[in-house]
Chains A and B, each alone.
Chain A
């Protein structure tokens, strides 16, 4: 079965420090991977995606993610965290059994950046 796992419910980091939010996936074939961010009582905002090409993908707000096929991971990273980065982060993978572009979401990781 296809799935996405975010092993950490919450990640705490001090402002200015690097951050990593972890994501692993399980799909058949080549994955299409996405990261979204959600602020309180808001919809999801797209951060970045990996479809093919370079394993390091750069996205919005200084975020990047590294696709690692051997470890089936797609961890989200940022070199220097901001307090405003505090939010709920979702990793998602395209459901390859569907032709509608349906996404499978991880359970979400709350990022807390402290001043």
Chain B
């Protein structure tokens, strides 16, 4: 299989601060990465599609100025939660398809980052 890592695995921050979450594909290159948000015992909500070398594509209702995504290289995408508030507390998960052909390959998921905003 392929390995996707996330850092940090958990973070606690004060309201109003910004938090950066990294997603790395460790043994393959990912031109596309996906960022999800998951509330307790609920499904994954796709927030945005991160594209290497271009702007991210955000899902409807997701504030692009609040959730900044940067896909700086073929192995790294970052999600920055700006001016975080308690309602941003959640489990954030990234994923990446392994092949350049994304049409039918499974996605590989990171272990997730638990964000708690006080």
Q: Residue B41 contacts which of A43, A46, A110 (CB distance < 8 angstroms)? A: A110
Question: A37-55: contact bitstring with B at CB < 8 Å (1 yes, 0 no)?
Answer: 0000111111001010000
Tell me the chain B residues, 1-40 only, with Cβ under 8 Å from chain A: 1, 4, 6, 32, 34
Q: Residue A51 contacts which of B104, B107, B111 (CB distance < 8 angstroms)? A: B104
Interchain CA distance A58-B43 in the complex, whole Å: 24
Q: Residue A43 contacts which of B57, B93, B102 (CB distance < 8 angstroms)? A: B93
How many A-B residue pairs have C-beta atoms within 8 angstroms? Tell me.
64
Q: With A44-B93, A101-B32, A101-B102 known to touch, is A107 a contact of B109 (CB < 8 Å)?
A: no
Interchain CA distance A98-B39 in the complex, whole Å: 25
Flag if B42 contacts A44 (CB, 8 Å): no
- Minimum C-beta distance from A62 to chain B (A): 17
- Minimum C-beta distance from A37 to chain B (A): 11
Interface size on B, residues (CB 8 A): 29
- Minimum C-beta distance from A78 to chain B (A): 19
Interchain CA distance A88-B38 in the complex, whole Å: 13
Q: Residue B43 contacts which of A42, A46, A49, A105 (CB distance < 8 angstroms)? A: A105
> CB of B106 within 8 A of chain A?
yes
In chain B, what residue has the closest Cβ to A47? B106
Interchain CA distance A109-B6 in the complex, whole Å: 25
Tell me the chain B residues, 65-99 only, with Cβ under 8 Å from chain A: 91, 93, 95, 97
Task: Report the contact-size class of chain A (Cβ under 8 Å from the partner).
Answer: 20 to 34
B57 CB contacts on chain A under 8 angstroms: 100
In chain B, what residue has the closest Cβ to A34? B106
B34 CB contacts on chain A under 8 angstroms: 102-103
In chain B, what residue has the closest Cβ to A50? B104
A36 CB contacts on chain B under 8 angstroms: 109
Flag if B49 contacts A100 (CB, 8 Å): yes
Chain B residues with a Cβ under 8 A of chain A? 1, 4, 6, 32, 34, 41-44, 46, 49, 51, 57, 91, 93, 95, 97, 102-112, 114
Listed by A's residue number, 12 A-B pairs whose Cβ atoms lie within 8 Å are: A43-B95, A46-B1, A46-B107, A90-B43, A90-B44, A99-B102, A100-B51, A101-B97, A101-B105, A103-B34, A107-B42, A108-B41
